Amino acid sequence: MAQKTRYKEIFIDKASQFGFANIGFARARKLEEEEDRLSNWLKQGFQGSMSYLDNHFDLRLDPTKLVPDSKTVVSLLYNYYPEDDHLSNGEHKIARYAYGRDYHKVLKTILKNMLGELKELIGNFEARCFVDSAPVMERQWAQLAGLGWTGKNSLLINPKMGSYFMLAEIICDLEIEIDHAIRDHCGTCTKCIDACPTDAIDQNGYIMDASKCISYLTIERKDDIPQEFKDQMDNWIFGCDICQEVCPWNRFSVPHDQNQFFPNENLDKMSKRDWIEITHEVFDTLFHGSAVKRTKYKGLKRNIDFIST
């Protein structure tokens, strides 16, 4: 068996053991085909106040600058679709990925443990793990690795599991047998475009004006939410799943079994009044170790007040 193939089989086996739903491999190189697209997106100001996206432009395009002598970008998918998603259907909605413990912390630990076992089997090699933690173009690499296509809502869509998954990467100096991209299956569907209440998705799809996205407005934006969005938030107080909820491919979503992604049981007890009157102490208790901490108490209170008044 060729060494490239043996490495691939070892990685696939370990990824399955550690709970990843899928894994794919692409050759590490500069993403020259993405350079103009990324530059134009930034020039149009679609990143809003996320100024960090302007930084490290070259690093973002070229993983060999992140991991010298890297040969392969390994992309992984981790399912987060909840069996009970009522927290995304009430008067104060939370995006499904944020129900439980912060996925950055959960997956980073899983990846590090997995990498340790890979090195025990293969021998030492240079590698770095990423979970939305560095300038890595995650969706583009996952697409090149055959894990899906970038949909009209700009999310990666897998034909067998939809889009409710987190992306993670291992960039390493091993030469591993690569996979190949699959074709776009969005076709003439415009459900995500039609459903977005803030018109954040371009009418032709595939371009997201992040500065209009509810996820951006409720998480990344630090200033007050502009009044133009007053009646368009659809009760979302952290993130938004609308473009995923209407996507036909998510009929293939199945519940995850990661107990760290289960919500704090006290979230179920929150009434409309509890949300409106939430205190800093309650916030800290409800969202200890959660991704919701990103918006901080002040940000979540701003979001709640915005949809409630």
**Any domain includes 177:** no
**Any domain includes 183:** no
Query: Are 163 and 203 members of one domain?
Result: no
Return the pLDDT at 51.
53
Return the pLDDT at 53.
58
Return the pLDDT at 42.
65
**Any domain includes 196:** yes
Q: In what order do the strands lie in the sheet with 165-172?
A: 22-27, 72-79, 165-172, 127-130
Catalytic residue, candidates 36, 85, 132, 184: 132
Return the pLDDT at 34.
77
Q: What is the pLDDT of residues 5-19, one digit of tens each?
A: 999 999 999 999 999
Return the pLDDT at 50.
56
Active site residue 132: yes
Query: Are 31 and 127 members of one domain?
Result: yes
d(C-alpha 303, C-alpha 284), whole Å: 16
Looking at residue 260, its amino acid is Q
Query: Are 18 and 155 members of one domain?
Result: yes
Q: How many structural domains does the chain have?
A: 2
SS3 per-residue string spanning 42-92: HHCCCCCCCHHHHCCHHHHHCHHHCCCCCCEEEEEEEECCCCCCHHHCCCC
d(C-alpha 23, C-alpha 169), whole Å: 9
Closest CA to 214 of 247, 249, 244: 244
Return the pLDDT at 61.
85
Return the pLDDT at 37.
75
Q: What is the CATH number of the domain that holds 34?
A: 3.40.109
Query: Are 291 and 163 members of one domain?
Result: no
Query: Are 9 and 118 members of one domain?
Result: yes
> How far, CA to CA in Å, does 85 sit from each of 223, 255, 278?
29, 10, 22
**Any domain includes 91:** no
Return the pLDDT at 133.
73
Query: Are 196 and 256 members of one domain?
Result: yes
Phi-psi region of 233 (alpha: psi -120 to 50; beta: other; left: phi over 0): alpha
d(C-alpha 268, C-alpha 214), whole Å: 23
**Any domain includes 63:** yes
Residues of the chain short of pLDDT 70, as ranges, are 1, 41-42, 44-57
**Any domain includes 92:** no
Query: Are 226 and 109 members of one domain?
Result: no
Query: Are 148 and 213 members of one domain?
Result: no
Which residue range is the domain that position 213 belongs to? 191-308
Q: How many CB atoms lie within 10 A of CB 38?
A: 16
Query: Are 209 and 250 members of one domain?
Result: yes
Query: Are 119 and 199 members of one domain?
Result: no
Query: Are 158 and 73 members of one domain?
Result: yes
d(C-alpha 141, C-alpha 24), whole Å: 9
Query: Are 253 and 146 members of one domain?
Result: no
**Any domain includes 13:** yes
